[in-house]
Structure 1
Amino acid sequence: MPNSCNLHQQRPILVGNAFAQSLILKGQQGDWLPISPCFASMGFYPVNPVSNEYQLTSPLFDQLIMRLKGDKIFEILTHKDSPDAIYIGKVFLNGKLYDNKTITYDQIMAGGNLEIWLQAEPGNWGNMGR
């Protein structure tokens, strides 16, 4: 598989077109399972292969750039208030506060940026207004 996931990378990672295009789910379990650990390390994890939704998670990288079809880019930036920060405190999608626990395939493929702010203690993110 092109551009395999390197969890020990210390600098920003540029994910090429071949990997980003693999986000297109073909409904074949063999295509799905090998990339699941990479998804979670990027800050989102597939809820199920058919729903088009990805659960937001704590990214392992400070910055990740995905080059998408049509010369679009989806960038994920991670901010931490301490080295122990593992809980999502707040999320911004394209500069706007985002309280949804999931992001859709269409939102990712539209391009833009996702900023995930991590904190050391659990908070109310994802439960506000519910």
Structure 2
Amino acid sequence: MSGSEMVEGERSPQPLQREQQDLADELASVRREREQSENYLLQMSDGMRQLEEAAAGGDPKDYFVQKRLAGFRDLESGLRRITMQRLEFLDEEEREMRARLEENEQRLRTERQEKS
């Protein structure tokens, strides 16, 4: 076997380092998505609060105002649920990426020790 051939399952340091960088980039992307989702939740809450304040300033018995407000509450509730599910998914994705990063870091340390 020549020096350039590798045993099956082994990875050279270069691809591992590239994979580490790719994982770090993906992790940063997941964090940005998480931040955007959290900001979206805050904006939804603020928007709903403003709608409720506006409705409170009018006739509380106005059927159409109350009907619209109920519709907005339902919409906000559904969007909040979807956003929370997305946040859970992003949390799981982040945990998996961190585990892969840790695994690759261990491989790199092992390879460096073997070369020493």
Alignment TM class, shorter chain as reference = under 0.3
More strand by share: 1
User: TM-score, structure 1 length as denominator?
Assistant: 0.22
Structure with the bigger RCO (C-alpha within 8 Å, sep 6+) is 2
